[in-house]
Amino acid sequence: MKKMNVLPFYMTYPTVAYTKENGMVEDLEYFQQMYLNGARMLQREIVKSISILDYDGSMIYDAYPDQFMLRRLSAKLLDKMKKQTKPEDPLYKVLAQEGIDELVFLILLNEVLKRRHKKDMGFLQF
């Protein structure tokens, strides 16, 4: 007697489960490439600094990240960048502009969002 191998319905179309899993991350990275030069320089520095916080159990992976802690982190990053840049650096002019603290905070939030979504990639991501 021959035994028939029957596949479950969800195995007949395996590519459906994998479509656009990281579509949001790809879109975010694409739009970050369109940043102006000053914002791009800030983003590079923020990415370097936030890589230290990219570990399991970090505050950036909390279910509801604390806004105060994120604002404090962005202020620390801004102070660190201001101390490290010299007047002849192009980043120095960017950091001297008014409202730069809000821009640093927004870039930090985008980077945290991108890292959270990259980490959550699983088999069935909705």
Say how far apart CA 17 and CA 67 lie, in whole Å. 34
pLDDT at 102: 96
**Do the beta carbons of residue 25 and residue 120 sit within 8 Å?**
no
**Do the beta carbons of residue 125 and residue 19 sit within 8 Å?**
no
pLDDT at 117: 84
Q: Using N-to-C axis directions, what is the helix angle for 100-119 and 37-50, rounded to 10°?
A: 50
pLDDT at 123: 47
pLDDT at 126: 42
pLDDT in tens, the chain (126 residues): 567 677 776 666 655 555 555 677 888 889 989 999 989 999 999 999 999 988 888 899 898 999 999 999 999 999 999 999 999 998 899 999 999 999 999 999 999 998 888 876 544 444
pLDDT at 84: 92
pLDDT at 17: 52
Say how far apart CA 76 and CA 22 lie, in whole Å. 30
- Decide: residue 46, CB within 10 A, 0-12 exposed, 13-18 middle, 19+ buried: buried
